[in-house]
Copies of this chain bind each other. A is one copy, B any other.
């Protein structure tokens, strides 16, 4: 298989994998969806409670989508959304003790989940995959910038 075909395959497979991993993750823990899981993971990497838009950018979802997930998580008591004291526009997201406790309990199963998902991966393959995806993410950012600066030219096909 030549390089170009491999690239096309990678392109297509990312969508397939995203769909299937979501189903798998939803199955893994019925209490919390895959996207809610990643949302919480995202929040936990911030040192100070992030704003919705800040978090959305970080985890790569649209603001609207992040907001909807946040609403669901607040509903089920995993996060709180509180108005910022200094900026009347902003809301800050914080994990509740319930959430921290729950994920502490899940931790071992999470590790098993990841290990099982990556069955047969040696350190080198894992690292190349990691490196490749990071680079792809970077390239996409560049790519989008170039589209923004074009303002169409798209109809010229």
Residues of A participating in the B interface, judged by any CB pair closer than 8 Å: 1, 3-4, 6-24, 27-31, 34-35, 38, 41, 59-62, 105-106, 109, 111, 114-121, 123, 125-137, 139-140, 142-144, 147, 154-155, 157
B136 touching A117 by the CB < 8 A rule? yes
Question: In the complex the two chains form, what is the Cα distance from A126 to B8 in whole Å?
Answer: 11
**Copies of this chain in the oligomer:** 2
Interface of A, secondary structure class, is helix
B4 touching A114 by the CB < 8 A rule? yes
Q: Given A15-B18, A133-B17, A157-B105: A6 and B119 within 8 A (CB)?
A: no
B157 touching A16 by the CB < 8 A rule? no
